[in-house]
Amino acid sequence: MIPVAEARARILAVLHATETEVVHLADAWGRVAAAPLRARVTQPPQDVSAMDGFALRAADAAEGAKLRVAGTSPAGHPWAGTLQPGEALRLFTGSIMPAGADAVLLQEDAEEAAGIVTVRERVSAGRHIRRAGQDFAAGDVLIPAGRRLTARDVGLAASGNLPWLAVHRRPRVAILATGDEIALPGEPIPPGGIVSSNAHALAAFIRAAGAEPLVLPIAPDDEAAIAAAASVPADLLVTTGGASVGAHDLVQQGLARRGLAVDFWKIAMRPGKPLMFGRMGETPVLGLPGNPVSALVCAVLFLYPALARLGGRAEVALPTETARLGAALAANDRRADHLRARLAPGEDGRPVATAFTRQDSALLRLFADADALIMRAPHAPAAAAGEAVEIIRLAALGI
Amino acid sequence: MIPVAEARARILAVLHATETEVVHLADAWGRVAAAPLRARVTQPPQDVSAMDGFALRAADAAEGAKLRVAGTSPAGHPWAGTLQPGEALRLFTGSIMPAGADAVLLQEDAEEAAGIVTVRERVSAGRHIRRAGQDFAAGDVLIPAGRRLTARDVGLAASGNLPWLAVHRRPRVAILATGDEIALPGEPIPPGGIVSSNAHALAAFIRAAGAEPLVLPIAPDDEAAIAAAASVPADLLVTTGGASVGAHDLVQQGLARRGLAVDFWKIAMRPGKPLMFGRMGETPVLGLPGNPVSALVCAVLFLYPALARLGGRAEVALPTETARLGAALAANDRRADHLRARLAPGEDGRPVATAFTRQDSALLRLFADADALIMRAPHAPAAAAGEAVEIIRLAALGI
């Protein structure tokens, strides 16, 4: 058995980011920048007013001073003149500062009547002006390569006048579920059969990670059928089932007909254990267990980082955090454990993670109700309630 | 000025969830269940083996006992007979337990040769059997109404044989950005103008929240043009700009021509302050500030819960958590403040939130680099480094 981290490192070592494509800003949310995104404009483009009020010369703006209103300049309607001593210009948030002015008097500190504005509060030079380039200058890197774009990033790119963005193509991930006993939802269920949940759950997980899933038809437990089903161009082929130690492990034999070079591991983990990784020609193949809970826990630990790498993300590490235990845990054995747990806010605000009493990997409903996985290292000693543990929030991964 | 919570409550009070539509499981990730989703099958459908091994009678399974192998039953191929005393059946994880058997001997605890299996480890009745309905029974509620579906939920629904799911229709949200000074990215920039970031950033935010954005063309600062632009059927109309106290607040006047009944507030908050909410016929209208940072912070505080309510989510509260301050904060004034901050893991694993020194709402780049908002209540006293503060993680909202 090899440790989780080693298996993950070996997977990541052979995966590469997809190539670059260009998308419109409207389609950019959740995509990964393929190159540093540089501003095409300076923001603000010139010195602008930060408030509604009056542009003036600070030297003129003693309390009680009266200035002649030389004009009005709404945002988007710059004033062409130069402000003279004793003059003020009515303007608004975002209006370009006129030549000659060096401060803005807030409108609530001003009284305007008959073309004259009276200063009610002294204003010093530079007040309420946003300087040209204060946010960024043309050519500045706004977003580094490898960042998955948030709504704020989309706004920032728009602000930098970038209607088209270079991003990594979404990885295409084919999913092959195998087994004589499984049917897709809605299909006739064979005698002794069950409804397959892995294919659709993995497809949703893959979509949440920003990739494009393709659910292949279920392959029966037959080498030739498996070989035929796996003939699909993809950046990654994910299989589920057929990877246990039983006599019906046909996925590897089936894919071997298509040239699979296999690196088959038992991982020192629970739930899970058997994991297959290899290459079928150019296509990396990740074989997950058939058990639904095991398959999805393995997806978190191995598929999530793999998709991050394929998708060009700079950060491929799983987002872990610390919680306190809500209930004691027994010492762990030699396998890393991943306990399904509820989270609740603790007295000091820190999350409290309480593992479900039942950790049977057959309980998909309990897993769906979990908020987090508690990560227990191999041979972790018994831990009392209140001790710190490492967790992964499931919803944060879209799973 | 009214408090943030009151404004939010008034918005939520008049919004209703969209109607129900039915989608295929493959399209269900991120959708919101419109009714409790009930299993159509029992899982497991019958007692099944939890492991690869041999079904037998526990009474026969003393250490060293030799049993006749009566057959093999792969998963999906139930064995029709009844196990007799002295017999064992070869089976695998997920295989239906044969009549007559009451336990499973693990294959690693067995030796098989010439049709005889030798018991190497005693097994007690009931071992390694997953009972029918252990995960769920037909008719059980798998997923409550109002839950936004995760990948695990999709798997659970599949497992319950639900190919079609009743979900709330995605709310349709129209976005109207206004202002003579703004252009959409790539368009010619008017003199003194800037590139609009709000429309695309809000569209991304709306999409992240599971709704469908529609970016309307930018309306100039003209009542008739604004009235014309706002003619679109939507579950919510979001405007940005035009809601300050200046002379160029034309959004309200423009929408008044279409019958806007307005509830205009100054909110006791920063950044932000002016917020407009009202109804134009049947369409609720949320007016956000024009400043990009203010608009997105207001989107977090008001639009996110509004979208959750429109989308039928049972939980409309913002997900807040507790962090420790990385640097001291001065006492707050009468407005709730929302400080852009970085998060880092602290010594005890708790997140440490450090507000940026510059909190100017014109700095969109700094906001894009932030991890969280630190929520400061009105009149919050000065806080030292290490004190607990309430935060909202921005990426968790897709923003």
* Closest chain A residue to the Cα of B294, Cα to Cα: A152
Q: Look at residue A54 in the predicted model and tell me its pLDDT.
A: 96
Q: Look at residue B53 in the predicted model and tell me its pLDDT.
A: 94
The answer to whether the Cβ–Cβ distance between B76 and A50 falls below 8 Å is no
For A193, half-sphere exposure in the C-beta direction (CA atoms, 13 angstrom radius) is: 20
Q: Look at residue A242 in the predicted model and tell me its pLDDT.
A: 63
Q: Under DSSP, is residue A319 helix (H, G, I), strand (E, B) or coil?
A: coil
The answer to whether the Cβ–Cβ distance between A290 and B156 falls below 8 Å is no
Go through B334-351 and write b for each residue having 16 or more CB atoms within 10 A of its CB, e for each that does not: ebbbbbbbebeeeeebbb
Residue A255 in tokens? 């894919």
Label residue A17 exposed, middle or buried (CB < 10 Å: 0-12, 13-18, 19+).
Answer: buried
* Closest chain B residue to the Cα of A132, Cα to Cα: B362
- A205 Cβ neighbours under 8 A, 6+ residues apart: A296, A299, A303, A304, A397, A398, A399, B151
Residues of A within 8 A of B179 (CB-CB) are: 75-76, 94
The pTM of the full predicted model, rounded to 2 decimals, is: 0.92
DSSP string of B15-42?
-----EEEEEGGG-TT-BBSS-EE-SS-
Q: Point out the residues of chain A with pLDDT beneath 70.
A: 242-248
Region at B78 (left for phi over 0; alpha for psi -120 to 50; beta for the rest): beta
Contact assessment for residue A209 and residue A398, using Cβ atoms and an 8 Å cutoff = yes
Q: Under DSSP, is residue B303 helix (H, G, I), strand (E, B) or coil?
A: helix
The minimum CA-CA distance between A199 and chain B, rounded to whole Å, is 8
The residue to which tokens 């049993």 are assigned: B67
Label residue B114 exposed, middle or buried (CB < 10 Å: 0-12, 13-18, 19+).
Answer: exposed
Cα separation, B218 vs B185, in Å, equals 11
Strand bridging mode A236-240 / A283-288: parallel
Residue B351 in tokens? 């997140």
Region at B356 (left for phi over 0; alpha for psi -120 to 50; beta for the rest): beta
Q: Under DSSP, is residue A262 helix (H, G, I), strand (E, B) or coil?
A: strand
Give all domains of chain A, ordered by start, each with its CATH number: 4-17+170-310 (3.40.980.10), 20-38+142-168 (3.90.105.10), 48-130 (2.170.190.11), 321-397 (2.40.340.10)
Q: What is the DSSP letter of B330?
A: P
The minimum CA-CA distance between A361 and chain B, rounded to whole Å, is 9
Q: Point out the residues of chain B with pLDDT beneath 70.
A: 242-248
Residues of A within 8 A of B243 (CB-CB) are: none
DSSP string of B123-152?
--TTTTEEPTTSSB-TT-EEE-TTPBP-HH
Question: ipTM score here?
Answer: 0.91
The answer to whether the Cβ–Cβ distance between B388 and A348 falls below 8 Å is yes
Interface A-B: count of C-beta contacts within 8 A: 331
Q: How far is CA B152 from the centre of its chain?
A: 13
CA distances to A345, B321, B374 from B394, in Å: 19, 12, 10
Residue A384 in tokens? 């009392």
Cα separation, B149 vs B154, in Å, equals 7
Strand bridging mode B351-355 / B388-393: unpaired
Cα separation, B21 vs A81, in Å, equals 59
Go through B185-207 and write b for each residue having 16 or more CB atoms within 10 A of its CB, e for each that does not: beeebbebbbbbbbbbbbbbbbb
The minimum CA-CA distance between A329 and chain B, rounded to whole Å, is 19
The answer to whether the Cβ–Cβ distance between A151 and B398 falls below 8 Å is yes
